[in-house]
Amino acid sequence: MDVSFILDALNDKQREAVAAPLQNSLVLAGAGSGKTRVLVHRIAWLMHAYELSPYSLMAVTFTNKAAREMQARIEQLVGLPPQGMWVGTFHGLAHRLLRAHWRDAGLKENFQIMDSDDQLRLVKRIMREFNIDDTRWPPKQVTWFINAQKDEGRRAAHVPDSHDPFSQGMRELYYHYEEACERNGLLDFGELLLRAHELMLTNPALLKHYQQRFVHVLVDEFQDTNTIQYAWLRVMVGDTGTITAVGDDDQSIYGWRGAKIENIQNFPKHFNDVKTIRLEQNYRSTGQILKAANGLIQNNDDRLGKELWTDSGDGEPISLYAGFNEQDEARFILEIVKKWRDDGTALKDMAILYRSNAQSRVIEECLVREQLPYRIYGGHRFYDRLEIKNALAYARLAVDPNDDGAMERVINVPPRGIGERSIGTLREIARDQGCSMWQAAEHIVQHGVMPARASNAIKNFLLLIDGMGNTLIQPDLGLGDVFEHIIQEAGLIPHHEKEKGEKGEARIENLKELVSAASGFSWSEDDEEFSSPMMAFLDKAVLDAGEAQADEYQDSVQLMTLHSAKGLEFPLVFLTGVEENLFPSKMSFEEPGRLEEERRLCYVGITRAMEKLYITYAESRRLHGSESFNSPSRFIREIPPECIEEVRLRSQVARPISMQRPNYQGTLQKQNQSVLQGYQVPDTNVSMGDRVKHPVFGEGLVINYEGQGPQARVQVNFDTEGTKWLVLSFAKLEVL
């Protein structure tokens, strides 16, 4: 058979990697240099040139999407699906092994996989059972501890002894947790990997079988493997198999989840005669985009070091847009999206990337308004997220206490001592009496048909919701204030604060973002079908959640976090919210190494772009419920200036102040506000950047205005009171 077609569309180095003899190899190369392509072609090569059966190959990718894509690409190349080949994620493949060998793995035949919510619920149940104080050992932190141990391949028995009572408690909980999982046939995600590893170590015959079967193992995104994944790979390959791993140390972005970049350094030590191949030609991006990426990543120490080049021409410079605020940023992005669409680019070829999930809301709202289909990868859409749904459920109860769905959702979230048994009783009474759960609860409280403790807990819940209901009818409270009140009274912030790691923080940020969304919600009494702003807001949230998401096959704009963008490519990319404290994130200043990981994340973002990259930031941003004025990210400064062109033209919103704006390099050196300096609000004596004094709010800086004459309003950032909009003809502002 002529196999030259497999090597045709490859460069020399790629060809060397693809047609290498059956041996261990490591392909270390920058973004877009064809690593994934090499893997696909190598699989085809092994099947056709070495006549290996697909049955003897295993390929590990990072996401299910990547696995499906790999299968499709192999099929496209060789004309047949690779039947019998194992292609999947680490978790997927481990699961497959355990289903096939449940007995040898010491599992029940019908073992169940738990997602992270199930896992948390189990931990809580155990803590109740053993009377363990959940304020000292917050359940979320317990699950985080257990997962981190499993990532490192440690069972409870392997956790080092400690004199510290907190660590001792954690270890004990891990023991109880292991027991409970064992008893009930439950496996969490980490357990899949750990158990699959142990399965091999404790069953020599089985191990031999698989080692003989898998002649060659291929791994994509190797830089993001953690300890247990790497250990499992080593075991599966053993002394008889061989492995090809491809990766890029500059794209290691999962250190916070246990990924070990050292696995790359150790690879040549742990596998025999490793052939290391470096690819340096990039086929994805234009010269300007690449130069930007190279320039940025050079600011990291501790790199294995490589330069990427391309012969595809310079292309256009990167466009940098300074949004006035996050709304203006989103508006600008939408304008470019529509322009590209009108010029014939498919929506699916445009990606909008952001650092944290909460940033997507404003962009989503713009997309909905413009009726552009979009799709969000990784992470839930804003109004679908657990914490948002909980807050909305409280609001729904405040509007209508008889909303049983909402009641079920939050009656014990955060935990307030209304256990499953009490809830069961409520359900029963509601069913028997044909009333709502709320009415059942009132019945219980009035007639004392439950033990005092349970009854009291329910009574407190009823009072809590009553209080929330009262805020709805207070004329001086805006919708944002009402949500702030609800979130605070419900105790949702401390509830999520107990969650360890980024997730809890992200949830809190999202809750604050909900307050922002509610404050900015415009409703007029002309909207007759709604009886109140709250009703209108709640409906909008449901509709946004239900309909805005395009289905998978519809041509739609792609929205995702930078983490989910790994391995993908798009002709047009927007890197948004590139501001200090947001990207790099504030948290990254605290832990050593985190800033470098943020920079790698930025490198991943830039290198997703094929033809054109837009970088945007907002001079003021309302996020997580408050307004901040962050300077443009240091990452922008680290990109060679000749690759960047500032977008100066503003359409739609008349923003004369932009004419005074110096270029971003200047912006970086000055206080953010100073760029606004000097523009006078028409027909008034107030100018942008003036310091002013208000009789009640004190001193502040004028940062924005709208309208003219008697309608002119200015936005002032007060030193102590935050930002406020004031009508100039009323507010007695004194220019200082």
Residues near Mg ion (CB under 5 A) are 35-36, 567
Distance of closest approach, residue 216 Cβ to ligand ATP, in angstroms: 19
Q: Please list, in sequence order, all residues whose beta carbon lies within 8 angstroms of the beta carbon of residue 441, skipping any fewer than 6 positions away.
A: 426, 458, 461, 462
Of 10, 362, 508, 573, the one binding ligand ATP (CB under 6 A) is 10
716, 719, 720, 721: CA torsion to nearest 10: 0
Phi, psi of 650 (to 5 degrees): -115, 135
Known binding residue 33? Answer is yes
Phi, psi of 171 (to 5 degrees): -65, -40
User: How far is residue 349's CA from residue 340's CA, in Å, rounded to a whole number?
Assistant: 10
Of 150, 284, 381, 495, the one binding ligand ATP (CB under 6 A) is 284
| Residue with Cβ nearer ligand ATP (32 or 258) | 32
How many residues form the binding site for ligand ATP (CB under 6 A)?
19
| Residue with Cβ nearer Mg ion (37 or 621) | 37
41 binds ligand ATP per the rule CB under 6 A: no
Binding site partner of 242, from ligand ATP, Mg ion, none, Cβ cut-off 5-8 A by kind = none
Distance of closest approach, residue 311 Cβ to ligand ATP, in angstroms: 11
| Residue with Cβ nearer ligand ATP (40 or 514) | 40
Distance of closest approach, residue 424 Cβ to ligand ATP, in angstroms: 51
632 binds ligand ATP per the rule CB under 6 A: no
Q: Which residues of 324-345 are buried (b: 16+ CB within 10 A; e: fewer)?
A: bbbbbbbbbbbbbbeebbeeeb
Alpha carbon 450 to its chain's center = 44
Known binding residue 556? Answer is no
Name the one residue in this structure whose structure tokens are 């794209």. Answer: 251
401 binds ligand ATP per the rule CB under 6 A: no
Distance of closest approach, residue 566 Cβ to Mg ion, in angstroms: 8
248 binds ligand ATP per the rule CB under 6 A: yes
Known binding residue 32? Answer is yes
Q: Which of the residues are catalytic? A: 35-36, 220-221, 251, 608
At 310, list the tokens.
């391309």
Binding mask 634-673 for ligand ATP (x = CB under 6 A): ----------------------------------------
Q: Please list, in sequence order, all residues whose beta carbon lies within 8 angstroms of the beta carbon of residue 209, skipping any fewer than 6 positions away.
A: none
At 200, list the tokens.
């091999």
Q: Name which of 616, 573, 560, 619 is nearest 316 in CA terms.
A: 573
Distance of closest approach, residue 195 Cβ to ligand ATP, in angstroms: 29
Binding mask 580-609 for ligand ATP (x = CB under 6 A): ---------------------------x--
Residues 545-584 that bind ligand ATP (CB under 6 A): 567, 569
33 binds ligand ATP per the rule CB under 6 A: yes
Q: Are the C-beta atoms of 694 and 716 separated by less than 8 Å? A: yes
User: How far is residue 54's CA from residue 254's CA, in Å, rounded to a whole number?
Assistant: 31
| Residue with Cβ nearer ligand ATP (307 or 719) | 307
Binding site partner of 168, from ligand ATP, Mg ion, none, Cβ cut-off 5-8 A by kind = none
| Residue with Cβ nearer ligand ATP (283 or 377) | 283
Q: Name which of 318, 360, 326 is nearest 617 in CA terms.
A: 326
Of 17, 20, 24, 34, the one binding ligand ATP (CB under 6 A) is 34
SS (H, E, C) 276-300: EEEECECCCCCHHHHHHHHHHHCCC
Instruction: Tell me the residue number closest to Mg ion, measured at CB.
Output: 36
User: How far is residue 712's CA from residue 707's CA, in Å, rounded to a whole number?
Assistant: 4
Binding site partner of 34, from ligand ATP, Mg ion, none, Cβ cut-off 5-8 A by kind = ligand ATP
User: How far is residue 91's CA from residue 193's CA, in Å, rounded to a whole number?
Assistant: 6
72 binds ligand ATP per the rule CB under 6 A: no
Known binding residue 31? Answer is yes
Distance of closest approach, residue 10 Cβ to Mg ion, in angstroms: 15
Q: Please list, in sequence order, all residues whose beta carbon lies within 8 angstroms of the beta carbon of residue 171, skipping any fewer than 6 positions away.
A: 156, 159, 162
Residues 306-325 that bind ligand ATP (CB under 6 A): none
Known binding residue 577? Answer is no
Q: Which residues of 683-701 are buried (b: 16+ CB within 10 A; e: fewer)?
A: ebebbbbbebebeebeebb
35 binds ligand ATP per the rule CB under 6 A: yes
| Residue with Cβ nearer Mg ion (401 or 567) | 567
Q: What are the C-alpha distances in Å from 92 to residues 18, 135, 343, 523?
A: 26, 35, 41, 47
| Residue with Cβ nearer Mg ion (285 or 325) | 285
Q: Which amino acid is at 48?
A: H
Of 18, 26, 28, 31, the one binding ligand ATP (CB under 6 A) is 31
| Residue with Cβ nearer ligand ATP (315 or 567) | 567
Of 20, 32, 46, 573, the one binding ligand ATP (CB under 6 A) is 32
Distance of closest approach, residue 27 Cβ to ligand ATP, in angstroms: 9
The tally of CA atoms less than 13 A away on the side-chain side of residue 657 is 23
Q: Name which of 691, 607, 595, 3 is nearest 299 in CA terms.
A: 595
Q: Name which of 327, 321, 335 is nearest 715 in CA terms.
A: 327
Distance of closest approach, residue 284 Cβ to ligand ATP, in angstroms: 4
Q: Name which of 704, 598, 723 is nearest 254 in CA terms.
A: 598
User: How far is residue 187's CA from residue 194's CA, in Å, rounded to a whole number?
Assistant: 10
Number of H helices, E strands in the chain: 27, 21
Binding site members? 29-36
Return residues touching ligand ATP (CB under 6 A). Answer: 9-11, 14, 29, 31-37, 248, 251, 283-284, 567, 569, 607
Binding site members for ATP? 29-36
